[in-house]
Every structure is written in C-alpha cells, then in structure tokens.
Amino acid sequence: MKYATTVHASTLADPIHVFEARAWAHAYLSSHCDIPDLLDAVDPLQACAIEIGLVDCIGQDGVQKIISDAFAVVRSC
C-alpha cells in the first residue's frame, strides 16, 4: 500500500479557524472551572497566536476579538 508523501496546502486547516476552535475550547473549560483562572485560559492563547504568526497576520486586535468572542459565547450561557 502506498501512502501520500506530500501534504498539499489545500488539505491543511485554516489557522484562524483552528485558533477560533482553540479559543472556544479554553473558554468552555474556563466556564466549567477546568481552568479556574481567566489568565490561565487566555495567556496560552495569546502566546500561541504570537508563536504561529497569527498576530502578524491579522493583528493583535483581531486576535483579541477571536478570544473575546469565544469567551462571550460561553459566558452568556
């Protein structure tokens, strides 16, 4: 059986969508006290956004909007 040896860009997930999902997951865990401190939920997201170049791509305001939107959804429940 042969396996693919290359990955095409079209098969990769959009980093913004992945980050949105990660932000929502942190917000969900925070709202259920699995991550009790808000800073412990948000700081890793910010570090991730810097590390993967998302801040350079969409700007700090864009990153903050993704994070705040995710936390707003779970806090409104």
Share of the chain above pLDDT 90, in %: 57
Which domain range does residue 27 map to? 13-75
Residue 5 located in a structural domain? no
Residue 7 located in a structural domain? no
Provide the angle, in degrees to the nearest 10, between the axes of the packed helices 54-75 and 38-51. Answer: 150
Q: 4-34 pLDDT, tens per residue?
A: 555 556 667 889 999 999 999 999 998 888 8
Residue 33 located in a structural domain? yes
pLDDT for residue 67: 96
- How many residues does the structure list for the chain? 77
Residue 53 located in a structural domain? yes
Residue 8 located in a structural domain? no
Contact 41, 35 (CB under 8 A): yes
